[in-house]
Amino acid sequence: MHGATRTDGDRRSRAAVLGSPIAHSLSPVLHRAAYEELGLDDWSYDRFEVDEAALPGFVGKLGPEWAGLSLTMPLKRAVIPLLDEISETASAVEAVNTVVFTEDGRRLGDNTDVPGMVAALRERGIEQVDSAAILGAGATASSALAALARICTGEVVAYVRSQARAAEMRQWGERLDVEVRTEDWADAEHALRAPLVIATTPAGTTDVLSSVVPERPATLFDVLYDPWPTALAARWSAYGGAVVSGLDLLVHQAVLQVEQMTGRVPAPLDAMRTAGEKALASR
User: What is the rounded CA–CA span in Å between residue 108 and residue 98?
Assistant: 8
| Secondary structure (H, E, C), 229-282 | CCHHHHHHHHCCCEEECHHHHHHHHHHHHHHHHHCCCCCCHHHHHHHHHHHHHC
**Which amino acid, one-letter code, is at 74?**
P
Q: Is 278 considered catalytic here?
A: no
Give the Cα-Cα-Cα angle 201, 140, 247 (nearest 5 degrees): 80
Q: Of 12, 32, 76, 252, which is the active-site residue? A: 76
User: What is the rounded CA–CA span in Å between residue 152 and residue 160?
Assistant: 20
Residues 6+ apart with CB under 8 A from 101: 12, 62, 66, 67, 68, 107, 108
CB 228 within 8 A of CB 248: no
User: What is the rounded CA–CA span in Å between residue 77 and residue 199?
Assistant: 22
Burial track 177-203 (b if 16+ CB lie within 10 A, e otherwise): ebebebeebeebeebbebbbbbbbbee
Q: Which residues are catalytic?
A: 76
